[in-house]
Structure 1
């Protein structure tokens, strides 16, 4: 068992260094402000299971204030050319990069992810802002053939004030995905970070002061009620949400009253298919990373491993070694895995482990608390179940933790039926050397992303989003710009 006092001392030192006298409140109209009601909440450091600090809890009036600031800033921001907006966004990106280490350490502190992964998240989020700044500058209207007696053209206009509701697993990465696209297309933003992980988002917004015009980017902190005030606000004309399917449904219902368009990036129960002609060693090592990266707290985690029966034994030998080699501990150290993000989620994942046992699946690895993890905190071992049947709850429901499920298949049609046999359709992985089969699978899988002979293929330029109950709309690629603009058709008579 790791020395808990040493870890606690380290984290308390990080809190003093990162928080100090700095104020973490709402960010509205270019200033850090307190919430009006005086209520607070306390995000935890999941490594030591202790509060980091208190943050103001926003009510509907605070959301109104943020929306008013965003409304006031919209005309000025929209009036800039895409090139000029891009220059401003790149300037903000440069400031964020100057504070890269601070933002990564805040992310590790509040999410619990290893510092190396936090650094990668921050850098990737910044790159998405820069990507949208460049792509938006090249986004042009269209001039259809209006005939000889008229000129027709199509304008793409911003919605105005937009709302972004962020998840706790990738706070700054998703900030880049959502806010980058919204701002690049001329919208202003009201951002609601997850109540478990608001600090890095607040700090990133504070670092926009003096770069973005006041009111262009606003942050309101709070729980689900604050998010509901954002998604149901009659002056917010577009909402983007990433999170669970049940909460996504609530966001959609709230937005429906004002017929507000939504982008929803929801859950996943993603298949990882291994065919007998695959490079089995590569597939097995990739499978471990695909399902356990970020502690399995990723909507695109490859959790359902569908392995052809002819290579199951070979696959498991390599795969279980890869799982066993993952190190678990203090996320500020050089480890593969830190704690789960918060207590409620930790309890949910442990309940799913017990459910797997009760459903008759065989525990092949893990299942408990890591012996080498700090004595405090929300830790779960990398866990693997075998003998899993497609109809089991553990094979159908999103666990969102470091838990994977191994199933076998004998025929192509069986593999596709099992892969598509959930309510989700977000991501998928396929390992095969047969190019024709790869193309066929890509067509047959009900998933927004199909990654062949690798996993995690979302980069700037490739759209990301789901089929079925995994969501509506696309982010990451140029398609995200379409999510934040509305088309206006104009036709002018020339013969009058």
Structure 2
């Protein structure tokens, strides 16, 4: 059994050395046959699967997420690695035929050194996606996990790294300064980041100076729109799942709710009942600093006129737990409606009709995801056309087919972060014209 590693915070020299090591390993790794890279990824997935229980326990200590739920997330990471192990070796190229004696080839090539900056709320599954897609296409990777879950990140790096040659995957620990140093390194070709908006902005500025590609998923403020023709009790179950699962610490958690007046009273009553059921099984927030932020959003909303139907109070005692909270009489200017709270909070605004709710859901500067609960196909069609987000979910707050992609918009980021399309993001295309001697091509 692997022993839990000591935490060594990388300084500027360590960050630079990690990039140098990745650059040195790149030339050999890019020349490794694609099938062999895929086989290495399958071996990494097997090592991760074998250590699921151990890594889940570390995950629980680092983030507060239960070991059982952490194990599910680790399983998703394993599946992602296996998926890219299959997709990578058949990643597409194409040919163009300009004449009888000439052919143009469009050949995908690795971009080079990829810096992966990953979050604390789902540290294994997210990292596996970025790392797997980068490595299988011939890039080398420097991975910096969030400073809020360093032990998970280091263990993950140890487990995956044993399947690859030295320097192909390097894991470094550190905070914002380390991440900034990596992002600004002129020898880095891609910076892939999942996390907060402000960090994403700084990465975009850094890569604009170096010429590296920025691949960003920078949070969201995902709306849930409840139409007047759905079962309000079922809708409340969906809303509770979206707002309270993992204490609301999921990238696509429900952050704001717009409910048709026709079903509002029954919906809110059922949502309060759901919140009371969820409170006993919600994990703690990642730390007390984050809980302070969540409570500040709630307190500000109450001061501005929102009514707490349940929750909204910081529990006594140690730890960082926060209760499932339902707020009604919310207004668009409240921070809890306008920004990402990232906690177990369900702020509700009642709307007079579907059109009003859709307009409100489509407002704001974020564009990660949105959910619509409706029995009206015309409303569903209108919603997915109008909502300016990367992912629209109809009649389910979570879900999606394996291999599905996601492409955030606005302040939520840019570039595909999942699916086969991520292989395109992490490669670049070279056009080769093959003619015959003598100018006949």
For this structure pair, what is the TM-score category when the shorter chain's length is used for normalisation? over 0.9
Instruction: Count the aligned residue pairs.
Output: 438
**Residue 277 and residue 366 in structure 1: after superposition, are their counterparts in 2 closer, same or farther (change >3 A)?**
same
Check whether the contact 2:5–2:155 (CA below 8 A) recurs between aligned residues: no
Q: 2:305 aligns with which of 330, 355, 360?
A: 360
2:43 is aligned to 91
Check whether the contact 1:459–1:476 (CA below 8 A) recurs between aligned residues: no
Report 1:130-209 matches (<5 A): 130-209=82-161
2:5 is aligned to 23
Q: For each residue in 1:283-328, what CA deviation from the matched residue of structure 2 results, as whole angstroms up to 9, or x when unmatched?
A: 1101101011111112211121111000111211222111110143
Q: 1:397 aligns with which of 333, 339, 342?
A: 339
Cα separation, 1, equivalents of 2:400 and 2:220: 15
Cα separation, 1, equivalents of 2:170 and 2:297: 37
1:423 is aligned to 365
Deviation at 1:458, TM superposition (A): 4.5
Check whether the contact 1:279–1:433 (CA below 8 A) recurs between aligned residues: no
Provide the secondary structure at the position in 2 that maps to 1:376.
Answer: coil
Q: 1:480 aligns with which of 422, 427, 435?
A: 422
1:467 is aligned to 409
2:289 is aligned to 344
Provide the secondary structure at the position in 1 that maps to 2:20.
Answer: helix
Deviation at 1:413, TM superposition (A): 2.4
> What is the TM-score with the length of structure 1 in the denominator?
0.85
Q: Which runs of 4+ in 1 moved over 3 A?
A: none
Deviation at 1:80, TM superposition (A): 2.0
Deviation at 1:481, TM superposition (A): 0.6
2:208 is aligned to 256
Cα separation, 2, equivalents of 1:285 and 1:262: 37
Check whether the contact 1:388–1:406 (CA below 8 A) recurs between aligned residues: yes
Unaligned runs of 5+ in 1: 1-17, 25-54, 329-335
Q: 1:489 aligns with which of 425, 431, 434?
A: 431
Check whether the contact 2:161–2:169 (CA below 8 A) recurs between aligned residues: no
Cα separation, 2, equivalents of 1:296 and 1:153: 47
Deviation at 1:179, TM superposition (A): 0.5
Cα separation, 1, equivalents of 2:32 and 2:373: 47
2:397 is aligned to 455
Cα separation, 1, equivalents of 2:339 and 2:162: 45
Deviation at 1:186, TM superposition (A): 0.8
Q: Does 1:226 align with 2:208?
A: no
1:27 is aligned to none
Q: 1:409 aligns with which of 329, 351, 368?
A: 351
Cα separation, 2, equivalents of 1:318 and 1:254: 47
Provide the secondary structure at the position in 1 that maps to 2:160.
Answer: coil
Cα separation, 2, equivalents of 1:466 and 1:279: 30
Unaligned runs of 5+ in 2: none
Deviation at 1:411, TM superposition (A): 2.5
Q: For each residue in 1:310-368, what CA deviation from the matched residue of structure 2 results, as whole angstroms up to 9, or x when unmatched?
A: 0111211222111110143xxxxxxx311111222121112112111111111111011
How large is the Cα RMSD of the aligned pairs?
Answer: 1.6
Task: Return the structure number with greater helix share.
Answer: 2
Q: Does 1:60 align with 2:2?
A: no
Deviation at 1:493, TM superposition (A): 2.3
1:69 is aligned to 21
1:278 is aligned to 230
> What is the TM-score with the length of structure 2 in the denominator?
0.96
Cα separation, 1, equivalents of 2:267 and 2:167: 54
**Residue 370 and residue 459 in structure 1: after superposition, are their counterparts in 2 closer, same or farther (change >3 A)?**
farther
